[in-house]
Amino acid sequence: MSQLQILEGCEEFALGEGPVGALLVHGYTGSPQGMRGLGEFLSSKGINCVGPRLPGHGTTWQDLNVRTQQEWRECVESNFDALKGRCEEVFIVSLSFGSALCLELAAKRPDEVAGLVSLAGIVFTKDPRRHLTPVIRRVIKSLPGVGNDIADPEMKELAYDRLPTTSTQHMLRQLNDTRAVLPQVTCPILVMHGRGDHTVHPDNAQYIYDNVGSTDKQLIYLERSYHVITLDLERDAVFEATYNFIKERAKHAV
């Protein structure tokens, strides 16, 4: 099988160095581009940042449509392990569907994740089509995309303009699996979400906050932002809050 070309700007990244690491995981149909600005900011503060590209992302929606839940899980876990091999402690920062994957990892490995930041995280959807996914994927291969939900007219997310239906079924399974293990998440957690999010209902933020087992937890709503809060009008506040969360909980100075 030939290697698909990665779209310009969607490449994974590794920035900075030091004993404190941060794994930055993007969302479904998106790419590392959505996390790069945050990675550049955190690395400038002395944090070792890695932004992996989930399988099937940053290439074509057809490529994503043949990818599975297990592939995404393995990508997150292997990148976490690699970063942990270079750093004394590792935090996780996740966007949208990346949060579903990372919350599950935090539940499975509570003694290894130093803390987690969930940005516009999703663990459930209210879209009525979710019940019809097994049927829809047999009839049509893609639907109109859900990317680039940003209030700032000068910013653009590099995401697919189509939503692949087969891999969406794997995505929905992951949401179910993540909800089931939320009580096992015990690491410090910061949850941030835009009030105007049209892609992931803001109720997800409260649900995550209420159901994790963590005692050290914070919930912040952004009043002027839509879904991609790492690129939106309040991105500077997102960057600062993420850095402060890590700084206040890291055992090493950053």
H, E, C per residue of the chain: CCCCCCCCCCCCEEECCCCEEEEEECCCCCCCHHHHHHHHHHHHCCCEEEECCCCCCCCCHHHHCCCCHHHHHHHHHHHHHHHHCCCCEEEEEEECHHHHHHHHHHHHCCCCEEEEEEECCCCCCCCHHHHHHHHHHHHCCEEECCCCCCCCCCCCCCCCCEEEHHHHHHHHHHHHHHHHHHHHCCCCEEEEEECCCCCCCCHHHHHHHHHCCCCCEEEEEECCCCCCCCCCCCHHHHHHHHHHHHHHHCCCCC
Would residue 170 show up in a list of annotated catalytic residues for this protein? no
Catalytic site residue from 118, 197, 214, 232: 197
Would residue 96 show up in a list of annotated catalytic residues for this protein? yes
Catalytic site residue from 96, 118, 142, 225: 96
Would residue 197 show up in a list of annotated catalytic residues for this protein? yes
Catalytic site residue from 31, 214, 227, 232: 227
The catalytic residue positions are 96, 197, 227
